[in-house]
Each structure stands twice: as structure tokens, then as C-alpha cells.
Amino acid sequence: MSLLRGPARFILRLLGWKLLDLPQRPVKAVVIAYPHTSNWDFPLTLLALAALSFDAQWVGKDTMFRGACGPLLRSMGGVAVNRRERTGFVERLAEEFRRRENFHLIMATEGTRGLQTGWKSGFYRMAMAANVPVILAVVDYSKRELGLLSSITLSGNPDTDMAHIAACYAGREGYHHRNASPIRLL
């Protein structure tokens, strides 16, 4: 990743994007990506990861990993999730957090690019089970900013935590901003 830092920063600057980073990143965290409203979010996120020299894995639906693309996506940090049935995914990844010294896992909280009634709770349950903070990441098309906004430690009170997260994301817009789901757990 460090070899790609300069070129990624150059490309983002050329495209008019401002890169956001935390003064100090936690060594382990669930990273939530919001809003996720466009296929463009993925390549921009990969550029941001390279530009920030941020070694993170990301979660994608298992159908993305079928065929010839699977090995390529896994080599880029992809972790497949089966969203059609319960597979113990949250607990398996919480165990991965406990096992590793450094681990960052990016999750799209909405689970899709389309408008939903709220966020999937997997990120919350995983962060609580692994006892790790949550980093708030954004691709904000209105301000042309992308990267890491904030790091928070969840209290265990979902209402309080989601209100805090909503305040951090206030004014941030996705490419198709009408598809951004309300910031509340389903």
C-alpha cells in the first residue's frame, strides 16, 4: 500500500477530492462506510485506502467473489459475507479481532446502495463483541471529501451511540443522496 500512496494522493487531488484522516488511528476498529449510494464509492474507497496507507479489509456480498474476480477481490482485502442466511459471521470476525494485534474491517452499514429503512446492526454487534472502537468513514460528494471522520467507542446504548454517529455524519451526502438510509439500527 505504501508504494501506492503518492500516486493515489495525486489521482485524488487531480479529481478534486480532499483526503480526511484521524490524528491517531486505533490499532483495531470496525470501520463503517456511510453513505453508500453508488458503485463509484468502491474505487474511491480503494484510492483513499492507498492514499492514507490504511491497511484494512472490507466486507462485500459473497456473489461479488464468484468466478475469476474472487481471488482478485480477496487479494485487495475483500471478505465475503452471505447475507441470505445466518452464518455466524459477526462472531467469527469478532474472534478475528481478538486474535490479531492490528485489524481494521470496513463495512457498509446499509448493506446495499439503495434506500433502506435503517442500518444493519452487524457493525454494532461486532464492535461490541470484539470490544473495539468504530471509525466513521465517508465519501462525501457534496464537499468532495473522503476518508476517516472520527473514532468512537460505543457505550452499549444503541440509541445514544446512533445519535452520536448521526451527528458526525450530519451534512454528508452520497452520490445519490436520496438513497442514503436513515441513521438508525434495524
The shares of helix, strand and coil residues in the chain, as percent rounded to the nearest 5, are: 40, 20, 40
Torsion of CA 40, 41, 45, 47, to 10 degrees: 20
Provide the pLDDT for residue 61: 79
Exposed, middle or buried by CB within 10 Å (0-12, 13-18, 19+), for 73?
middle
Rounded distance between C-alpha atoms, residue 142 and residue 16, angstroms: 12
Provide the pLDDT for residue 60: 79
Tell me what the mean pLDDT of segment 83-90 comes to.
76
Do the beta carbons of residue 121 and residue 114 sit within 8 Å? no
The partner residues of 80 in beta bridges, in order of sequence, read 60
The H or E element that residue 51 is part of is helix 41-51
Quickly state the pLDDT bin for 1 (edges 50, 70, 90).
Answer: low
Rounded distance between C-alpha atoms, residue 62 and residue 134, angstroms: 23
Provide the pLDDT for residue 68: 85
The H or E element that residue 148 is part of is strand 145-152
Higher pLDDT, 152 or 87: 152
Tens of pLDDT, residue by residue over 94-142, are 988 999 999 999 998 887 888 888 998 999 999 999 999 999 999 999 9
Average pLDDT over all residues of the chain: 92
Provide the pLDDT for residue 111: 72
Provide the pLDDT for residue 83: 67
pTM across the whole model: 0.90
Query: Does the structure show a pLDDT above 80 at 2?
Result: no
